[in-house]
Structure formats: C-alpha cells, structure tokens
Amino acid sequence: MTLSLVASTRDLSPETVHAVLERVRQTTPRVHAITNAVAQNFTANVLLALGAVPSMTLAPEEVAGFAAGSDALLVNLGTLDETRRSAIPLAVAAAQKAGRPVCIDPVFVERSTLRCEFARDLLAAQPDLVRLNLAELEALFPDREQADALIATGTVFAVTGAEDKIESQGEDYCLSNGHKLMGRVTATGCAGGAVLAAFAAVEADKALAAACGLSVFNIAGEIAAERSGGPGSFVPELLDALYGLSLRDIEIRLKTA
C-alpha cells in the first residue's frame, strides 16, 4: 500500500520551522523515551542537543509516573523484550490520561507477526503520531481503508523514506531533506522519532509538529554530513548541528517536495 498524498506545503516556511524549534529550546520539554537498547544513549544525546530533556526508565513499576509527568512519550519497538512489553501499555495509558502526546515508532513490525500484533494493539489507543517507513506501514495496514480509519481519529502518520510524507486530517506534507550517511549510523531513525515527540510537546498541530521535527533533524543531518569524514565523525557533528541550527540554515536548506 502506498499513501496517496496530496501535498500542501505552502504553510511550511523556514520561519515556521525555526519558530517551533525555538519553542522546544525555550520550554525544554521532557520526553519519556521507551526505546530500543541500541538507541538509548544516542536518543538521549539528540534530545539534549535539540534542547529537550530525556527520561528513559523501563521499569513497569515506575514507568506510568514518568510518562504522566513528561511532556511527551516516545514508544519505539526496536528491541521488544519482556520488560518493554510490560511497560509500554502502562506508559501509553498514563500519558494519554495525563493529556500528553504519544508517538509510536513500530520498528521492524514487518519482521515479526507478534510484534506487528503488539503494535496494532498500541495503535488502537489512537496515538498522536506514528512514525514508520513504507514496509512497516504495509505490514500494519493491509489496505488503505484501515490507515484512513486511524487518520480519521486524529492520528498523524509520518512515513519516512527518500521523501518524507506526512498525512493527517488537516494539512499534508512532503519533505525531502536528509543525507545517506544518516542511514549508515545506528539509531538515527530511532532518535528522529524522539525529535518528533519533542516537537509534538510544544505544537498542538501534530502534522505541523512532525513536519518541523523531520525538517530540523534532516537538515542537521545534511550539515553533519558535510562536516564529517564518514560515519565515525558523523554522530558528534549531528549533535553539534542540532545544537546550533539557525534560521539561516533552515532558509538555505528546507526542501518541500
């Protein structure tokens, strides 16, 4: 299944992207990230460089309190072990009860039937954002009507790839920033999901939050790639680029397809 988007990106200006980024920097939202074991350290550092604050406990006995007290919740299914499987539903329920935005990243659901079913149960709770690639989308939604039904509840889809496509009840976006080196370092996609959660914490329009978050992360990736000599130096350069990203950087580089 391919999402047939009618992109309307006229309202996504560099000034808008930068304004939402500045809101993140000024309000320092706390993102509780239940993410995979490979991505934890990098995700925490990306959030800090962006201007947000990470918390990452997985313990089922305390995760609800952390999620409810956060400004947004990220759930990433990359390493879906027993502890995460127990903690995730508790965190989602607590975050939603507290009125916090929830971003689901259903990593590798196309590789595991059990994981796919677990992800479908999470999506039944109607999260604010779902960040996924086309293979994951097709595994979760065998037909277009199922995806449409979830979008109709208010959930925003951010489908990443060579072009990033965002679909919602309102505005839709197609974006084309990024660099191939982002795919040569582990956990960049997972950390990108945390960036979307941080932007969702400060922007009520979740499609706009996703568009701004993806643009900021991918533009920072382009800058980092130009400054680095390869994957080994790319990671620190990405953190520096996120930390120092300016309106001028966004004006020069923002690409809407």
Ordered structural domains, the chain, with CATH? 14-157+166-253 (3.40.1190.20)
Lowest mean pLDDT among 11-15, 101-105, 215-219: 11-15
The model's pTM: 0.95
Q: Looking at residue 6, what is its pLDDT?
A: 47
Q: Is the dihedral of CA 108, 157, 133, 64 positive or negative?
A: negative
Distances (CA, A) of 118 to 77, 173, 200: 9, 28, 23
CA dihedral 149, 156, 8, 178 (to 10 degrees): -130
Residue 11 has pLDDT above 90, yes or no: no
What is the per-residue pLDDT across 40-62, written as a single tens digit (0 to 9) for each?
999 999 999 999 999 999 999 99
Residue 5 has pLDDT above 50, yes or no: no
Q: Looking at residue 257, what is its pLDDT?
A: 74
187 torsion bin: left (phi>0), alpha (psi -120 to 50), beta (else): left
Average pLDDT of the chain is 95
Residue 4 has pLDDT above 60, yes or no: no
Residue 3 has pLDDT above 90, yes or no: no
